[in-house]
Chains A and B, each alone.
Chain A
Amino acid sequence: MRTITYRDALREAIREEMQRDERIFILGEDIAGYGGTYAVSKGLFEEFGEKRVRDTPLAEEVITGAAIGAALGGLRPILELMTINFSLLASDLLVNSAAKFHYMFGGQPQIPLVVRMPGGGGAQRGAQHSQMLESWYAHIPGLKVVMPATPYDAKGMLKSAVRDPNPVLFIEHELLYNVKGEVPDEGIEYTVPLNRGEVKREGQHVTIITFSRMLHVTLQAAEELAKEGIQAEVIDLRSIRPIDIDLILDSVKKTNRVVIAEEGWKYYGTGQGLAALIYEFAFDYMDAPIQHVNSADVPMPYSKVLERAALPKKSDVVNAVKAIVPKALVHS
C-alpha cells in the first residue's frame, strides 16, 4: 500500500484502463497540453498522444454530444467537464440522449460513457461555480451517479465506471483532489462496485449517512463524538444512484437514529430522498426524527467568511447527533 492523492488515484485509473483497452480515450477542455484544470490528466497526452487525449472547445453541449456519439459508435470515452455547474449546458444530452437511447431503441445501443466533473464549494468560486447538483441527475432513470470520497474508492470506482456499459456521471469535488489515502501499488488490479456504499466507521448509537467531501468532515465529527462516548456509525454512500439501501437499513435497524450530512441544499435533495426511503422501509425502527446537515439555503456567497458560514461544518454534524442521541444511552 502507498499513500497517494485523490488526483493521482484518478490518473492511475485512467492510465491503467487506457493501457488495457484501446477503445478508451479522454476528451475535455484543457486536458491535453495543460494537463487538465485540476491536473488529473497530467502526462497522459505525452503517453497516449493526441488521438486518445483530445482538447475540445469550450462548448459543453457540443463535446458531450460528441462523447455520446463516440460511445454509440463503439468507443469508450471519458469526458471531463470542468465543473458540474457547466454540465447544465449539456444536461439535455445527458438526460434526453445518454440516459434514454438504450431504453428507447430496443436495447440495441449502449452508451459506455463516463463523465467526470467536480462539484461543491469551499474554494471561493462564487455562487455559479460551487453547487452540488448530483440529485438533479440522480433523479433520472438510465444514469448512474457516483461520488467517491477517498483515493482508494476513486480509483476503484473510476475503473468500474469505465467498464460499465451505461452512462456514469462520476462526480468529484474540488477540495478532494489533494486528499491523501492508501491505495494498492500500481499494477495491483482492483475495482470498487458502482452500487455499494461502505461503513467507514462502526458504531451503535447513531447512523450518519454522508458522501463526497462531507465524509471527511463527518469522520472528524465522529472522532469528536467518540471522546464523549457517542459511537457513530458512518456510512459513505459512494453511489447516489443506484442507492445501497440495504446497507443503510441494516445500520438504521441497529442504531435507530439517523443523521444525513451532505454539502448540498436541503430541499428536494439527496438527503431528503434518502430520508423518505428510510421512513418508508424502517419506520418501525426509528427512535427519533432524521436530522439533516446541509449547506444554508442560499446561493453560495463569494465572501470567505460567509462561504464558511454557509457550508456545513464538523460542529453541525456533532450537534445534529447530540440532538437525537439521549445522554442516558451514552452513559449506560
Chain B
Amino acid sequence: MSDSALPMPGGGVRDVTPERPSTGHTVAGYPVRETFLEKAHSWVVTVDHKKLGIMYIVYSLLFLVVAGIEAMVIRIQLAVPHNTFVSPQVYNRVFTMHGTTMVFFVGMPILIGFANYLIPLMIGARDMAFPRLNAFSFWMTALGGILLYYSFIGGVGLSNAGSAPDVGWFAYAPLTSKAFSRGHSTDYWALSLTISGVGSIGAAINMIATTICMRCKGMTMFRLPLLAWLYVVQAALILVAIGPLTAAQIMLMVDRYLGGHFFDTQAGGSAYIWMHFFWIFGHPEVYVLVLPAFAFANEIIPTFSRKAIFGYPAMVAASVAIGFVSLGVWAHHMFTVGMTSVSNAFFALSTMLVAVPTGIKIFNWIATMWGGKIRFATAMIFCVAFVFQFLISGLTGIILSVAPVDWQLHNSYFVVAHFHYVLVGGILFTIFGAIYYWYPKMTGRMLDEKLGKIHFWIFLIGFHLTFDFMHIPGFLGMPRHIYTYEPDRGWNTLNMIVSCGAVFQSVAIAIFVYNLVYSYFKGAEAGADPWDAWTLEWATTSPPPAYNFATEPIVGSRRPLWDLKHPDDLDSQWE
C-alpha cells in the first residue's frame, strides 16, 4: 500500500506527504524524541482540530469509565432488597453524578470531539473555522467536568469531605434551594453545567461556521457527507437548547447566592417554571446526543454495505425535520404536573410526530443494507444493533408519549429503561462503531477485530440483560431514584438480572479499553483507506498531517473517493 501520490478527483496527482507530522526538533535529520513535558505542552497549547478532537474523545472516555463505575454502584445497591452497600445519601449523590456526567461529560464531548476531528477532513478543509475558539471550547468543557468532580472535595468545605450534588440530574426546584440543599454541592453542579455550556455553544458556533464556510471547491451543500449535515442540525439544536439551560442555571445561582426568588414559592416564585426551562433544554438535548449517532450510522452502514446511502435528500430532510419537531415536545416530561388537556394533547401528538422522520431514517438504513454486499466488521455490527435497538426505544417512547399511560409509568423504571435504551442501545453503540471505524484514521493502526467482536457480543448480551429486563419492574410499579425496596414486591429476580447484565457490560468495556491501548502499540498498520470508503478523510494519510491535505481537494459528487477509484462509473452522473 502506498500512501503517497494519492490522486485527487479533479486534477492530477496530489502530493500527500506520507510521514507523520513531526512537531519535535531534529538533529542531523533524525527526529529527537520529545520529552514528556514537551509533548504535553504541545497538546495543551494546540489549536489543531484533530488534536482537540482526540482530547475531547479521550476526556469523555475517562468520564465514561468514572460514570460507569457510578452505574455499577447503583446496580450493586439495587441487586437485592434491603441492601446497604452504600448509604442513602451516597446513593443519591451517585445517581446524580452518574446522570450529569454521562449527559454532559461523556455524551456531549465525545460527539463534539468526533465533529471536531471529522468535519474539516470530510469537507476538505484544513481546520475548523475558528481554531482558537475551538481550543477555548474544549478547555471550558474540561473545566466544567473538573468543577463537577471537585464538589466531592469542596461541596461542604475541605473540613467535611465527600459531598457531591445529590439533587438528581434535572435538579427540580425547590430541592435545589438553600433551605433544602445545604453546602455548596448544588452550586458546583450549576456552575459546572453553565461553564461546560459555554464550551458547547462555542463548539456549535464553530461547527456551523466550518461546515458552511470552509467547504472545499465543488462541495455544495447537497454533496456534503451526511455526517456534516447531521452535525449542522445538531449544532443548531445546541444553540437553541443550551441557552435556556444557561439562563435557568443563572437564575438558580441568583436564588442561591443573591437571595433571589425565581423558584421561591413563598415569595411568589414558581418551582414549576424550572421544569419548563430545564426540559426546554432537556428534550432537544436528547436529539443533540442522538443526531451524531445517526451521523455515524449514515457513514458506516453504506461503507460496509458497499452501497451509496439510500435516499440522501430524504435523510437530510428528515434530520432537519427532527430538529424542528424536537423543539416542541419538551412538556411530555411533565404530563403528571397537571397541565391542561389541550397541552397534554399537543405534547402527546408532537412527540408521536417525531416517529415520522425517524421512521424514514430507519427505512433508509435498511434500504441501504438491502441487496448490499455487507461486510460484518465490528463497526458495522454495532450499527446494525443500533438500528434494531433504536427502533425498540422509539416504540417505548411512543408508549410513554400517550399522556394517560405516562401518568401510570411516570418516574418508574420503565422510563429509566426507555431512555437508557436510547442512550446506550442507540447512542453508545454507534459511538463504539465510530471508534472502530475511525480509530485507524486517528492513530494509523487498526483496532483488533477479534477483540472487537468479543467486546460487541458481551456488551450486547449485557445490554439486553440489563435494559430489556429493566422495563418489567417499571410496569410492576418500581419507581426510579429509590434507595432500596421491600422483598415482597416481586422485583427481586428482575433486579438481580438487571445487575448481572451490568457486570457483563463492565467486562465488555474493560475489553474495549484494553483493545484501545493494545492496538495503539501493537495494532496492524491501517494505511490511508483501510475500509475502502468514499469520503474525503480517507484520501489523506492516517493519521493526517497537521494541514490535512497538501492540496485542497476538488469534488464532483457526494462520494469523491468513489469517483477517484472508478473513473469509468462516476457517481456524478447519477446524482
Partners in one complex: no
